[in-house]
Amino acid sequence: MDMHFEGVIFHTYADELARRLGHAFPPFAVLDVRPRADHDKRRIRGSISIDPEHLESLPSGTNEKTEMFVVGTDHTDPAVRTAALALKRLGARRVVEVTGGYYEWRRRGLPEGSSHSSNSNS
């Protein structure tokens, strides 16, 4: 990790996240900050549902070196920034906000996970 970027919150697009899903290294997690009911209906494959208002530790299975992709409802979802700031406060070194959120993911026709294929965590 380049120390010049310590503390920076990055941004990326849905297409780039879709590309990353095919590559497990470096380790990453997709954190879905939409309401739990929305995540339960439709989600990005492998995403973890989190409540950014009650984030007291890094999500299970992650550590400070895990790249964290944060997905909200759309580009106006304030929960994305709330989660990103909380993750940084908890020690995450690389936090990436997905521009356009799940709205953009669906608009681009990117693959969705089923209710049986991904982890969920509150």
pLDDT of amino acid 122: 40
Q: In a 3-state reduction of DSSP, which class is residue 98?
A: strand
What end-to-end distance do the CA atoms of the chain give, in Å?
28
* Residue 90 near residue 58, CB atoms below 8 Å: yes
How do strand 67-71 and strand 95-99 relate by DSSP bridges?
parallel
For residue 104, name the pLDDT band (cuts at 50, 70, 90). Answer: very high
Q: Which domains does the chain have, with CATH numbers?
A: 3-111 (3.40.250.10)
Q: How far, in Å, CA of 75 to CA of 98, rounded?
A: 8
Cis peptide before 35 (omega within 30 of 0): no
Give 112 or 4, the one with higher predicted confidence: 112
57-96: per-residue pLDDT in tens?
Answer: 999 999 999 999 999 999 999 999 999 999 999 999 999 9
**pTM listed for this prediction:** 0.87
Kindly state the tokens that stand for 32: 């879905």
112, β-bridge pairs? 44
3-60: per-residue pLDDT in tens?
Answer: 445 568 999 999 999 999 988 788 999 999 999 999 999 999 999 999 999 999 999 9
The number of beta carbons lying within 10 Å of the beta carbon of residue 107 is 11
